[in-house]
């Protein structure tokens, strides 16, 4: 795919930055070096398997500039303060300083970890997001949120630290395991439900092509999905209003991830179940028709995503939700769908409401993995 097919979408935040779609990994260095001066070192932070496939393609673009590579193993467990500390030691050993550009090459874990590293190393150095998974492309690379986990909660330590740019090369999707594609699809369904009914219909219509991983369809749904996020983030970078709608399904999903200690259930699968729980709660309140909840469940199931979990206890999950960052004045803040294509924030859910919502998705007939 040539340069001519490169699309650019601007995120208009406090520090505006461009999102490039259909870009080539090989062209990143040239773009960064010509657009931003004073880059002395490109420090690629990635995972071993991603490095194997793509590091050389990134490296060749940074001509006349030192390029170093640090790999961290895969998994949400890597998003820790211990890993951050090790990264700092490695970076200093490799001569990183204020003129280093961090290249976050990988999925959501790498983007969050490398972004937070860039945000706090020497009080902040420059970085670029290079998402290689569908989840990172449609969601986590956009919006400037970076973080690491803590035993007391997911993403508990972080910052709003926007990248200089987001650089998306669709060719990286080809080598992605199907379960990774599913993670991105869960966020895409979420974006459709909260902000784009046409995207929802598109997903329903092209379900079989998505399952075949048709590149053009994947590209189209990526562009539409991330457009929903770009729109909300541009209106409200610091999440004091509409950006919170993006948390649809996440208060439930995070509790699931915490309950399984970040390893048992992937982010996308947590969001999928969370979306169902939120939809059922919304139905109970008359915010969404039962038929639409059924459409959401059908689409998620059709994509091979879970709509229920087993082996977990509703009361425990309600407790875990009490630690959610979005809570205010001790009240649970939840995002619920209003039909398909809109969402609202509610603050009056009781623990009993939540317990019922959880009970509705805890089932022994639908194993989670």
Interacting residues with its own copies (CB under 8 A): 40, 81, 84-85, 88-89, 92-93, 95, 97-99, 119-124, 145, 147, 150-153, 155-160, 323, 325, 327-330
Q: Between β-strands 145-150 and 41-46, what pairing exists: parallel, antiparallel or unpaired?
A: unpaired
Per the annotation, the verdict on 257 as an active-site residue is no
How is residue 151 written in tokens?
């035993």
Quote the tokens at residue 219: 């590209």
Q: Least separation, in Å, of the C-beta of 326 and its own copies?
A: 8
Residue 347 CB neighbour total at 10 angstroms = 12
Annotated binding site for Zn(2+): 187, 250, 267
Q: Choose, from 59, 243, 280, 332, the residue flagged as catalytic.
A: 243
- The question of whether 247 is a catalytic residue gets the answer yes
Q: Of residues 76, 78, 237, 239, which has the active-site annotation?
A: 239
| Residues written for the chain | 369
| Residue 243 designated active-site | yes
Distance CA 8, CA 166 (A): 10
Least CB distance from residue 175 to its own copies, whole Å?
32
Cα 180 to Cα 107: distance, rounded to the nearest angstrom = 9
Least distance to its own copies, CB of residue 355, Å: 21
| Alpha carbon distance 299, 180 (integer Å) | 17
123 is a catalytic site residue:
yes
| Beta carbon nearer to its own copies, 121 or 202 | 121
- Residue 151 or 286 having the CB closest to its own copies: 151
C-alpha span between 99 and 313 (Å, rounded): 50
For the bound state, the minimum distance from the C-beta of residue 159 to its own copies, rounded and expressed in Å, comes to 6
Catalytic residue among 79, 145, 295, 332: 145
Options 59, 79, 191, 254, the catalytic residue: 254
Rounded Cα distance, 254 and 154, in Å: 7
Q: Given the complex with its own copies, which of 96 and 223 has the nearer CB atom?
A: 96
Known binding-site positions for NAD(+): 108-112, 132-133, 145, 154
For residues 159 and 157, what is the distance between their CA atoms, to the nearest angstrom?
7
Neighbours of 150 (CB within 10 A): 13
Beta-carbon-side half-sphere exposure of residue 367 (alpha carbons within 13 Å): 1
254 is catalytic: yes
- For residue 300 the two structure tokens come to 């998620």
Q: List the beta bridge partners of residue 366.
A: none
User: For residues 43 and 193, which CB has a smaller minimum distance to its own copies in the complex?
Assistant: 43
State the Cα–Cα distance between residues 129 and 113, nearest whole angstrom.
11
Binding-site sequence positions: 108-112, 132-133, 145, 154, 187, 250, 267
The verdict on whether 284 is a catalytic residue reads no
Provide, rounded to whole angstroms, the least separation between the CB of residue 356 and its own copies: 25
Nearer to its own copies by Cβ, of 146 and 287: the residue is 146
User: What positions carry a catalytic annotation?
Assistant: 123, 145, 187, 229, 239, 243, 247, 250, 254, 267
């Amino acid at each position: 795919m040539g340069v001519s097919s490169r699309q650019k979408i601007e995120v208009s935040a406090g520090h505006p930055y461009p999102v490039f779609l259909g870009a080539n990994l090989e062209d990143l260095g040239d773009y960064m070096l010509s657009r931003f001066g004073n880059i002395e070192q490109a420090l690629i932070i990635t995972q071993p398997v991603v490095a194997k496939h793509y590091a050389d393609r990134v490296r060749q673009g940074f001509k006349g500039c030192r390029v170093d590579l640090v790999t961290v193993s895969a998994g949400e467990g890597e998003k820790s303060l211990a890993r951050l500390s090790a990264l700092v030691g490695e970076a200093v050993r490799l001569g990183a300083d204020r003129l280093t550009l961090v290249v976050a090459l990988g999925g959501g874990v790498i983007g969050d970890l490398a972004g937070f590293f860039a945000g706090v190393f020497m009080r902040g150095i420059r970085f670029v997001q290079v998402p290689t998974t569908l989840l990172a492309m449609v969601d986590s690379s956009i919006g400037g949120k970076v973080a690491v986990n803590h035993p007391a909660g997911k993403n508990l330590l972080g910052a709003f630290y926007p990248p200089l740019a987001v650089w998306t090369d669709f060719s990286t999707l080809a080598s992605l395991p199907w379960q990774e594609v599913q993670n991105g699809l869960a966020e895409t369904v979420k974006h459709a439900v909260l902000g784009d009914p046409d995207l929802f219909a598109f997903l329903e219509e092209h379900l079989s092509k998505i399952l075949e991983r048709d590149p053009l369809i994947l590209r189209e749904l990526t562009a539409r999905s991330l457009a929903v996020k770009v729109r909300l983030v541009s209106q409200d970078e610091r999440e004091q209003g509409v950006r919170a709608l993006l948390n649809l399904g996440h208060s439930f999903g995070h509790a699931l991830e915490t309950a399984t200690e970040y390893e048992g259930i992937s982010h996308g699968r947590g969001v999928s179940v969370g979306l169902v729980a939120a939809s059922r709660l919304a139905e109970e309140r008359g915010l969404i028709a039962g038929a639409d909840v059924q459409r959401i469940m059908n689409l998620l199931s059709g994509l091979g995503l879970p709509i229920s979990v087993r082996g977990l206890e509703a009361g425990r999950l309600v407790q875990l939700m009490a630690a959610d960052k979005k809570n205010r004045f001790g009240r649970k803040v939840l995002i619920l769908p209003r039909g398909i294509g809109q969402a609202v924030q509610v603050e009056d859910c009781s623990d009993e409401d939540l317990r019922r919502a959880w009970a509705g998705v805890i089932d022994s007939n639908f194993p989670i993995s």
